[in-house]
Amino acid sequence: MMKAVRLFASLVLGLLGFDCLAALPEIPASYVMEMRPLPLSGYGPLTRSCAVDPGLLSSWPEVYPQVLSFLDREQIVAMSGWSQAAMQEHYVFSPDLQAQPVAYGCNDLVQVLEVVVETLPIHAPCVTRWLKAFLVLDRAEPSQFLEILYTIQGERQE
């Protein structure tokens, strides 16, 4: 089912002008429940002092639609822990097509990038929630994706 969703998303995004024919190789995609810790410990400790690879930034318009192709409405609603009922009733997947990756952390082996895919509906007036993708890249080969983690994170705004 997920392969069919990816193919459909690739075709639709292709019609919108994104080149999705050079698809990402099959890489693990994981979905982490809202506000749960990211399972990144297997990659060792990460620091926050690394820049996004310029090569990835230049190819981002081709890569990002492929990152989005792993997502669908049902999967996003399933990750929601705080307002699943409201999400089920009202949520429509509408990613920010201009989102850019920012460095989340790195070490000698990997770099993790964070992308805010979309701001989600709120469940409380002072809480902002985001759908995020965390891209784990091989530092020796920055175009090599090791894993993509998707989750929902929130923050209380006061």
What digits encode the pLDDT tens for the residues 3-60?
433 444 443 344 344 444 345 567 899 999 998 999 999 999 998 678 888 888 999 9
- pLDDT tens for 72-84 read 989 999 998 877 8
The burial class, CB within 10 Å (0-12 / 13-18 / 19+), for 5 is: middle
Q: Which of 137, 115, 136, 139 is nearest to 65 (CA)?
A: 115
DSSP string, 24-36: PPP--EEEE-TTP
The burial class, CB within 10 Å (0-12 / 13-18 / 19+), for 50 is: middle
Q: Is the pLDDT of residue 101 over 80?
A: yes
pTM of the complete model: 0.81
Q: Would you kindly state where each structural domain of the chain is located, as residue ranges?
A: 2-156
Please state, as a whole number, how many other Cβ atoms lie within 10 Å of the Cβ of residue 158.
4
Percent of the chain with pLDDT over 70: 83
Question: In a 3-state reduction of DSSP, which class is residue 47?
Answer: strand
Q: How far apart are CA 82 and CA 101, in angstroms?
A: 26
